[in-house]
Chain A
């Protein structure tokens, strides 16, 4: 697991966007002065007439993208995740989602692995902000292969989409022939004692954790859940009923993101313990990406520990209540 090749998701985004641009002249791209970092620069170099740098003005970028969509274009608008989701949230809500316009927001530098730039630039709330919007689809690819597959799929699917990738290179999980479907999770490893449902960088950490647990005789399933909204509810319920304990893992706040989405489905359909791995109610700090992942408990040991806790809770609630 630790020897997997690492590849950049944003590189995959830029290359795939340029590839799509060659196939469909209705595809346009917008950026807010970060095209080199988000990799929309690759598209800009090939299709300068269809690329619009909006300057440091994310709100204007999102509403302009909505106008382009209203005129029949398929705009891909990019910035860092915190600005695309947070700075322009109400523009995403009114200009894009309320009119159900075909705008693709591809946010890079999501999560804490943006690292040294510190808490102002670490988007740990973006999935929550986007997930709450009607009409919006929210996707977090786990590797470069899935990123490219996501881009091809959303370009062909009408409606607002928010895709979150990161600055760092992530281990490659999938083979080149991987097929991505919106709203479908992928079982990467079968297991019967506990299910780890993860997205983004935490998918590779979850696979590491499952190996660690296997050495202890614990059978952990691992699910890659790239679509946060609409969530693959059937798969979540299936995991709850077959294992009886769930762990969620995301490079994001445990409030409102993948963990909350899974809990909502589990509580209403197949109540079993759910332990969330992610950022717990605090802002990050500057530091090296992996250093931060370890410090804030978004690594393989943390996922494995959460799995043990979730399993311990399988018969827990009744006992707990009796103490009261």
Chain B
């Protein structure tokens, strides 16, 4: 893998990872497309620029940790891990298959680089807090990043964990909300409105940084600022587009839990190649 601070280069990596995600999902025939494409720019910035990590680090190194609380976006995590060398890229062919190392949702014993199991929503931030408390006890320097969905924010446990991080002043926790505005049954605002989301996190004692979650420079800057916050946890409130990068998938609820057909994959590849 290669670390870079060049936002143009990172944008290119994110585009290549979008290709990987779509190919992988088309081959699998099952999985979540929209929410993987909405968070891939942020995951790219973390794994290829901002996080201190390596598949070769021992468990006790000062490594940063990423927890994908919105576990259905597993394809976005898997393509990043594969490209970083956590496992061979050939495994991407066996997503969701029997005995594959890549489960439908992150399953820690089976996938190198996946630290905790997630998928049932709302538990990731609590897990991140626990890792952060353990790090603090051991004097480790790592930051724990936790990506949540906006729909996921309807889970009560998210707010229990928000209280915990603030109460214990976990400035080694960085939350990220992939705010793409859509969930399975429709618009988040129609299904169960979570706004004003930034005010809620601020009221719970968090520093809130609001950004365009597809602007690589904004993402990089937000991560730096979030890590620098002291005495309290920080949240990156990232506005994103579900299905981002493929015109006919953008803002379509129908692509939440479906995969591209052969035709759709071809059209998507043409669009991504033309960028």
A-side interface residues toward B, CB under 8 Å? 28, 49-50, 52, 54-55, 57, 59-60, 62-73, 75, 90-91, 93-95, 98-101
Contact = CB atoms under 8 A, between A and B. Distances in A.
A201 B133 CA distance: 37
Contacts of A63: 123, 126-127, 130, 157, 161
A66 B127 contact: yes
A91 to B, nearest CB: 6
A90 B122 CA distance: 11
13 contacts: A28-B134, A59-B160, A63-B157, A64-B130, A66-B116, A67-B129, A68-B133, A69-B130, A70-B115, A70-B134, A98-B107, A98-B117, A99-B107
A211 B26 CA distance: 70
Contacts of B164: 54-55, 57, 60, 64
Nearest to A32: B160
A50 B160 CA distance: 20
Interface residues of B, number: 33
Nearest to B161: A60
Contacts of B60: 72
Contact of B160 (A57, A90, A95): A57
B120 interface: yes
Contact of A72 (B59, B122, B123, B129): B59
Most A C-beta atoms less than 10 A away, residue of B60, B127, B131, B161: B127
Contact of B130 (A49, A55, A71, A90): A71
Interface in B116-140: 116-120, 122-123, 126-135, 137-138
A64 B127 contact: yes
A62 B129 CA distance: 11
A64 B108 contact: no
A99 B124 CA distance: 13
Contact of A64 (B117, B120, B129, B138): B129
Given A59-B157, A67-B129, A72 B134 contact: yes
B163 interface: yes
B3 interface: no
Contacts of B248: none
A172 B107 CA distance: 43
Contacts of B116: 66-67, 70, 95, 99, 101
